[in-house]
Chains A and B, each alone.
Chain A
Amino acid sequence: MQAALALALLFATLGVGPVAAADPAPTPREEVVSDISTREISIQSNFNGIEILIFGSVDFSGAAVPGKDIYDVVVVLRSPDQAVVARRKERMAGIWVNGIGKIYPTVPGFYAVLSSRPLRAITSDETLKTLGIGLNNIDFGRVTKSGPDEETFRSTVIRLKEQQQLFQEHDDGVAFVGRSLFRASVDLPVNVPIGRYTADVYLFRDGQVVSKNQSTLEVTQAGLDRAIYLMAFNRPLLYGLVAVLLAVLAGLAGWAAFRRE
């Protein structure tokens, strides 16, 4: 009796026993687990872009072994949002002038969506919109001065980002290896923004998300570039003074090296 009580107390403190006992999972579900080939990328002067691998597997341990090809995987890799201004040049008095800008407060600096099949074949537009999956479903935030050319501007933001390889959509970017393993490789271009990236991996079955997993990736500037960048923005006065000092030294060195006397 006493032993049973102690056991119950132990379970209560751990917070597991009673819950597990009272509410067993009604239907065992498959789960997706994933990771990224690297946890941190440091950008240095010689950075020329990098390919990273997002991989994972579908864990069937709780579910009946499924039939063939009933799962779809969608991977979304995105960096922190940035506020950007989109402008269109207009002709004024013969010259091309930037018109009034449209401000988009939350545009991901980088956004790549990879899937095992075309997104529309995997699930409905509503589901994609709710989850924010796909270039057309990213929430750019509330736009200032929304007008009739709203759609043009929005698709232009996407087009310009795609040109810089900062937005990517690959319908066949996720490849299954056997029944449960999958892999997706993403090319990060030379101009990737820094920050904490998230890789969301969605497991779809019959158009429904059955499991989701998230891992993170830290993209940082490193070395001298990092030091210069931080100094320029955090100690701008000192940065300016150092720049002047370096220029004076360079000038003196040039004069000393080439003077003819």
Chain B
Amino acid sequence: MFQIYLPIAELSVNLLVMLGLGAAVGFLSGMFGVGGGFLLTPFLMFSGIPPSIAVATGANQIVATSVSGAMAQWRRGNIDFRMGSVLIVGGVAGALIGVALLKILREAGQAGLIISLTYVVLLGVIGGLMLNESIGAIRRARAGKPASGRKPGQHNWIHGMPLKLRFPRSRLYISAIPPLVIGWVVGLLTAFLGVGGGFIMVPALIYLLRMPTNVVIGTSTFQIIFVTAVVTVLQATFNHSLDVVLALILAAGGVIGGQFGVRAGQKFRAEQLRAMLALMVLAVALRLLFDLVLKPSELYSLSPLLAGA
């Protein structure tokens, strides 16, 4: 019942399970205010979708959720289009390299391994940092001390770089090089991991570029649309690993789940949410790590020979 055949993944999945997966990740992303790609792609891999298809399809699904998010941000005037464009230029360059790298790894049969390893390292580091930070915040809140704000207005090494541009919406006059580099790194991750990369982009914009927090999320969401769109097209063209049927099912689930997530998120304090998200991120990292370390029940695998291998 409700089995649906995915034409590119060439396997049959349960429609309700995939809708539920999309909704669950949408719920979490609405609740925690994150894109959710870094949860969706590993979940797809856990449910038996081949890693390279999970990555490409994840990027396509993020196009849908980020369009939704960016529309709301745009209505509130929270997008710095100029900064967004610079980030996109860097992002597209990173995406090209990521897709090419993935193609080489796929032909060597190592794509799954490297994707998993990168996830373990990235999620482990980010989850650890977040958990540490949020536990500290929770303790301070219990002790009745005020939350420590960041110290604004400090100049750092970034302000000494050439190629300066004015970003009126962010009230910044800085070199274009740091946003290009940040965009490039995030574009690479989008292609390689099927994530939007907001979890890297947002802290980088706040702490490195010192953009005002109110435009950071809008600008990040805006650039994610374009970079994930470019990645989707590149994966389809060079890796034939995009399953549009799966992407649409996940997007449908995600849009609905996201609405409930936003409401659920309002019931918790910010640092509690961050601690929960951190635990979840660490759990995903651990599960991926176990899959790599534990002896697999089946050592052998068969796969079709890809052209060029």
Contacts and interface: CB of A to CB of B under 8 A. Distances in A.
B229 interface: yes
Contact of A239 (B63, B225, B244): B244
Interface string B86-127: 000000000000000000000001101100010000000000
A88 B299 CA distance: 5
Count class of interface residues, chain A: 35 or more
A85 B302 contact: yes
Contacts of A98: 109-110, 112-113, 301
B248 A250 contact: yes
A29 interface: no
B305 interface: yes
Contacts of A261: 75
A240 to B, nearest CB: 3
Given A85-B303, A161-B302, A190 B64 contact: no
B138 interface: no
Contacts of B309: 85, 103
Contact of A87 (B3, B255, B301): B301
A76 B277 CA distance: 55
Nearest to A233: B240
Nearest to A193: B10
B124 to A, nearest CB: 14
B8 A228 contact: yes
Interface string B234-265: 11111010101101100110011011000000
Interface residues of B, number: 58
A251 B300 contact: no
Contacts of A259: 71-72
B300 A86 contact: yes
Interface string A235-260: 01101111110111011111101110
Given A98-B109, A160-B302, A191-B10, A244 B233 contact: yes
Contact of A255 (B11, B71, B247): B71
Contacts of B4: 45-46
Nearest to B251: A250
Contacts of B248: 246-247, 250
A255 B305 contact: no
Interface in A83-118: 83-89, 91, 94-98, 101, 103, 105
Interface stretch (B41-49, B162-170, B290-298): B290-298
Given A96-B296, A244-B229, A101 B244 contact: no
Nearest to A43: B5
B266 interface: no
A83 B107 CA distance: 13
A64 B225 CA distance: 78
Interface in A160-178: 160-161
B142 to A, nearest CB: 33
Contacts of A240: 232-237, 242
Given A236-B240, A254-B256, 11 more contacts: A84-B305, A86-B300, A86-B301, A97-B113, A225-B7, A229-B8, A243-B233, A243-B247, A244-B63, A246-B244, A247-B251
Q: 10 shortest A-B CB distances, which residue pairs?
A: A251-B67, A240-B236, A254-B255, A240-B233, A247-B63, A83-B305, A251-B64, A247-B64, A250-B64, A255-B68
Interface of B: 3-5, 7-8, 10-12, 60-61, 63-68, 71-72, 75, 109-110, 112-113, 117, 225, 229, 232-238, 240, 242, 244-245, 247-248, 251-252, 255-256, 258-259, 292-296, 299-305, 309
Interface of A: 43-48, 82-89, 91, 94-98, 101, 103, 105, 153, 156-157, 160-161, 190-191, 221, 225-226, 228-229, 232-233, 236-237, 239-244, 246-248, 250-255, 257-259, 261
30 contacts: A46-B5, A47-B5, A48-B12, A85-B304, A89-B301, A95-B292, A95-B293, A96-B294, A96-B299, A97-B110, A98-B110, A98-B113, A157-B302, A232-B244, A236-B236, A239-B242, A242-B244, A244-B60, A246-B248, A247-B60, A247-B67, A247-B248, A250-B64, A251-B63, A251-B66, A251-B67, A254-B255, A254-B258, A255-B72, A257-B255
